[in-house]
Amino acid sequence: MSAGDNGFILICAALVFIMTPGLAFFYGGLVRRKNVVNTMMACAGIMGLSVVLWVICGFSLAFGADHGGVIGGLEYICLNGLSFEEVSTYAPTLSSLTFVVFQMMFAMITPALITGSVAGRMRYKALFIFIALWSLVVYYPLAHMVWGSGGFLAELGSVDFAGGNVVHISSGVSGLVLAILLGRRRGVEHTSYRVHNIPFVFLGAALLWFGWFGFNAGSALGANGLAAHAFLTTALASGTALLVWMLIDVIKDGKPTLVGASTGLVVGLVAITPGAGFVPVWAAIIIGAVVSPLCYFMMNFLKKKLKIDDALDAFGCHGIGGIWGGIATGLFARTDINSVARWNGLVYGETGLFTAQLISIVVTIAVAVVGTLVCIGITRIFTKLRVEPKAELLGLDTTQHGERAYPSFNGLD
């Protein structure tokens, strides 16, 4: 066991933790004034729920003894049998509890990403029940399949350094399915939905970028050169995506925007996540440069052409960005950077990894779609999914929580 590695990963876990409050500010700034408390409260509730579920059964189901390559066992219920003095079976220099804590923060941020798709119209009770079920039905099995010992996708040869499949594709696709079934916000086609607090958006994006260094670098599971490599590719991809999104804004509207720059840096972070510890540094520039126009197009396509109300573009950012990141890993990964990859990427003339990446993406999408439908069906047994029309008109802050973000504001929203 290494004191240095344990200290580094615990710091990284704290960085990943700050991503969820950061997401609350990012999403909260994007919605209308009357829904900002509800949007941020969605993240707050998930912060508590995810920690409790993870300790009770989440870690065991994700990283316990393999069952069919799909799910872990129940031997670590309430962390039974784990001790801070024992070395983790997944990271030989870490305490078992250090690994538990680090992975717990991933289980926190992932379901919070879904909330962006349903902002402004979903009952808080329904969302809370859905997230609890989704963690059990979708997240824990996917975490086992990708990262767990004996997991199906890991055995297949696919790689996911820090959560392209487990975190981003799963949450983005689930958010899209939920948005479709909920329906569009009332009057969305006739109302100009302006960002209500741009400083909140940038604050949230900056906190996400800050935390993401722990997210990706920490996934090396040690204070080593691979962590430094992942840190660098993360910075480079997000910086490139930010600049490209600014360029898109200038081409389209003649001016760069802070919301656009914030969105660009986030999609760059999403895209590099699966390959941060596998691809060479130069590839991070390509990954970041491609993801911005790709996500920009998809956001507009969904809302204008398909008329799907993915309110805060959770699928447009995380689903599409994660899919591109998984494909890019299959293109650019190198075994001499990280031997976890069995093959080099497609650009080096090998097809094994690229094929495995495509299969893993398809499987992740299938698990997310089916799992989300199951969770929605169960949630509907207990409560309606959507708030009443009057509550939606008045805003979810007052109708769901009895609070106002700006109590002195009385103008039109």
Contact 239, 209 (CB under 8 A): no
Name residue 386's beta-bridge partners.
122
pLDDT digits (tens, 9 = 90+) for 253-291: 999 999 999 999 999 999 999 999 999 999 999 999 999
Contact 244, 289 (CB under 8 A): yes
Over residues 347-375, mean pLDDT: 97
Over residues 362-383, mean pLDDT: 97
For residue 31, the model assigns a pLDDT of: 94
- What is the fold, at CATH topology level, of the domain defined by 3-401? Ammonium transporter fold (1.10.3430)
For residue 192, the model assigns a pLDDT of: 65
pLDDT digits (tens, 9 = 90+) for 148-196: 999 999 999 999 999 999 999 999 999 999 999 999 988 777 666 678 9
Question: Is the model's pLDDT at 134 over the cut of 80?
Answer: yes
Contact 263, 315 (CB under 8 A): no
Contact 164, 326 (CB under 8 A): yes
**b/e map of 361-386 (b: 16 or more CB within 10 Å)?**
bebbbebbeebbeebbeebeeeeebb
For the chain, the average pLDDT equals 95
Contact 99, 7 (CB under 8 A): no
For residue 307, the model assigns a pLDDT of: 87
User: For residue 136, which of 71, 66, 69, 48 has the smallest C-alpha distance?
Assistant: 71
Domain boundaries, the chain: 3-401
For residue 313, the model assigns a pLDDT of: 92
For residue 6, the model assigns a pLDDT of: 97
